[in-house]
Amino acid sequence: MNNSVLSVLNVRVFGNGPRVLVLTQTVGADQSVWRRVLPHLVVHHRVVAYDLVASGSVSPASYNRERYFTIDGYVDDLFQILDHLGVQQCVFIGQSFSSMIGMLAAVRRPQLITKLILFSASPRFENLPGEYNYGGGVFNREEVLSLRNALVTNYIDYAYRRAPPLAGPHQLPEAVQDFSHPFFNMLPSIALDAFITVFGTDLRDMLPWVRAPCVLVQSGFTCTPATSYLLEHLGGPTTVRFLRIRCHMPQVRRPERIATLLLNVLEDN
């Protein structure tokens, strides 16, 4: 990625408040998943939104397999964006894999990331049985292999099956379309690479070095194994906010509620 990073990753800046917020989303989706939340945030904040390179909204010509086969390329993209914009400090709002990007960025440049707000975060998404004894993930090995096989066999069918449920049940067609469109536009080869990167990333050893205050946001009423693991191992002050919204993309299903949560969290310095 070069000096065109702002245009390549569709970087957009909203508002002119004193505090900078960086909005990111899960792999495959694009910044449009935040569009119903954004108006609530820009009143008092400057908001930076962009698309991960593994999104159907980014030209496949910008994808470099060697660069993005690990999480490092994604973290470097974040640094390039913020450096180009002259951002010296920011609050990072991440989701799923992009939460990993934020945590690793907070380790490598702790002066840049002053706070983390992470939805559906995990330091490793695949559980490790037996002697490895790690249960802080979201999927077991059989589930990961099944998902990968579905992706490789028929990507369009995989996208149709995966995207709407991630947005949540009983969702408005417009919201599902916003969320699903980038998935359907991804090249299957890039989708597979992103899948391998997501499930191949393991940040467990890095967690004690994440010293920025962190707010973990999750669905349900009790901590998931991933949240419990992060609470135990993150190096900075960490709290949990629970949502009565059972879906992976709550900002699509209940944008007003997510906006209220974010504003409340941002008020807690």
Distance CA 71, CA 78 (A): 11
Percent above pLDDT 90 for the chain: 70
The per-residue pLDDT for 221 is 76
Lowest mean pLDDT across 144-153, 180-189, 192-201: 180-189
According to CATH, the topology of domain 5-267 is: Rossmann fold (3.40.50)
What is the value of pTM for the model shown? 0.92
Express each pLDDT in 30-53 by its tens digit. Answer: 999 999 999 999 999 999 999 999
19-23 and 90-95 strand pairing: parallel
Handedness of CA 181, 79, 35, 8 (dihedral sign): negative
Mean pLDDT calculated for residue range 161-166? 62
* CA distances in angstroms from 1 to 43, 61, 73, 122, 142, listed in the order given: 32, 11, 9, 27, 35
